[in-house]
């Protein structure tokens, strides 16, 4: 089923994100996690895609296996900055042949293509979205940033480009992760004022340690509230304590989002199941 059909059907959507494993051991862990998470009956799972261009078929392959072997509805991420239009159409044909009906259209991280030969058929996700919309074969999603895209000079300009993406054919949006719900709700106000009316699914991830928190703040430009920072500093080095604290924080965040109108939750799993299962059980009452 297409994500857009699930959204139109009503009810809250719950989904998980995976990334393609690089080793046989990582692959085993991923499928163990996927089998456990399937028991929660997610509305869909998404599979990330490298913007380097060197792994262009890995996302499609994993998406096909998750659908064929586990019966999961899959959203395949598709990054465009390292691909030609011909390559994009080739990948889409492969997804279509496997029965994949959902694509998350992304530009991709520019830093991932440094040193590679430029293939600038595409510069922005809106261009990819427009090409995908012409095929008529996929439900198309897009990414958005409640705290502003790190490269955008202003929030206002970021919203302008997001509106272009929606006008090009993005039918729903999934947010970058965030740790303060105020950002999400203010973002909804800004997008509504700009005339953006597509559903916006919040993306959440429990923090597992101090180093991970630093990566979020430094590389991804995501704010960490004082209460979360204090908890991470308190429990850093205590695996069980950190897990309990992180799950409780993310569960409270999720419950507030759903209570106040979020259309669902998209959980970034890092190819693990334990935290995602605990959060969803807390939110859905076991």
42-72 pLDDT per residue, tens: 999 999 987 655 555 789 999 999 999 999 9
Average pLDDT, stretch 77-94?
Answer: 89
> Could you tell me which residues are beta bridge partners of residue 265?
14
| Mean of pLDDT values over 216-222 | 78
Q: Is residue 30 pLDDT above 90, yes or no? A: yes
* Catalytic-labelled residue, pool 5, 17, 114, 157: 17
Torsion of CA 199, 202, 203, 208, to 10 degrees: -170
Closest to 88 measured CA to CA, from 120, 132, 50, 136: 132
Q: Which residues pair with 77 in a beta bridge?
A: 104
User: Which tokens sit at 50?
Assistant: 């490298």
The tens digit of pLDDT for each residue in 89-119 reads 999 999 999 999 999 999 987 655 555 555 5
Residue spans per domain, the chain: 3-208+262-273
Predicted confidence at residue 209, as pLDDT, reads 78
Query: Residue 239 pLDDT more than 80?
Result: yes
Distance CA 272, CA 32 (A): 8
**CATH code for residues 3-208+262-273:** 3.20.20.220
Enclosing H/E stretch for 24: helix 24-38
Residues 6+ apart with CB under 8 A from 103: 75, 76, 77, 78, 92, 95, 132, 138, 139, 140, 141
pLDDT at 245: 95
Contact between 74 and 66 (Cβ < 8 Å): yes
pLDDT at 52: 58
Q: Do the beta carbons of residue 253 and residue 262 sit within 8 Å? A: no
17 is catalytic: yes
Nearest alpha carbon to residue 88 among 105, 65, 102, 75: 105
**Element spanning 76, H or E:** strand 74-79
Question: Averaged over 258-263, what is the pLDDT?
Answer: 97
- Does an H or E element contain 128, and which? helix 125-135
Closest CA to 97 of 129, 73, 71, 61: 61
């Amino acid at each position: 089923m297409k994500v857009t059909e699930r959204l139109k059907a009503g009810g809250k959507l719950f989904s998980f994100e995976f990334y393609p494993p690089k080793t046989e051991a990582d692959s085993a862990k991923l499928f163990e996690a996927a089998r456990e998470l399937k028991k929660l009956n997610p509305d869909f799972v998404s599979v990330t895609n490298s913007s380097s261009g060197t792994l262009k078929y890995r996302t499609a392959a994993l998406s096909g296996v998750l659908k064929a072997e586990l019966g999961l509805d899959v959203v395949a991420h598709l990054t465009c900055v390292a691909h030609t239009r011909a390559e994009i159409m080739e990948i889409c044909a492969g997804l279509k042949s496997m029965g994949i009906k959902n694509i998350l259209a992304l530009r991709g991280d520019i830093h991932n293509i440094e040193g590679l030969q430029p293939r600038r058929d595409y510069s922005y996700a809106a261009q990819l979205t427009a090409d995908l919309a012409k095929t008529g074969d996929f439900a198309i999603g897009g990414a958005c940033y409640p705290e502003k895209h790190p490269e955008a000079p202003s929030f206002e300009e970021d919203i302008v480009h997001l509106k272009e993406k929606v006008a090009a054919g993005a039918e729903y949006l999934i947010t970058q992760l965030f740790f303060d719900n105020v950002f999400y709700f203010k973002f909804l106000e800004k997008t509504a004022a700009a005339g953006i009316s597509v559903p916006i699914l919040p993306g959440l991830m429990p923090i597992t340690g101090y180093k991970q928190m630093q990566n979020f703040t430094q590389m991804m430009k995501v704010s960490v509230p004082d209460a979360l920072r204090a908890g991470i500093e308190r429990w850093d080095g205590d695996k069980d304590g950190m897990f309990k604290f992180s799950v409780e924080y993310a569960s409270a965040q999720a419950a507030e989002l759903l209570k106040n109108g979020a259309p669902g939750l998209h959980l970034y799993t890092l190819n693990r199941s334990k935290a995602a299962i605990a959060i969803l059980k807390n939110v859905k009452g076991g």
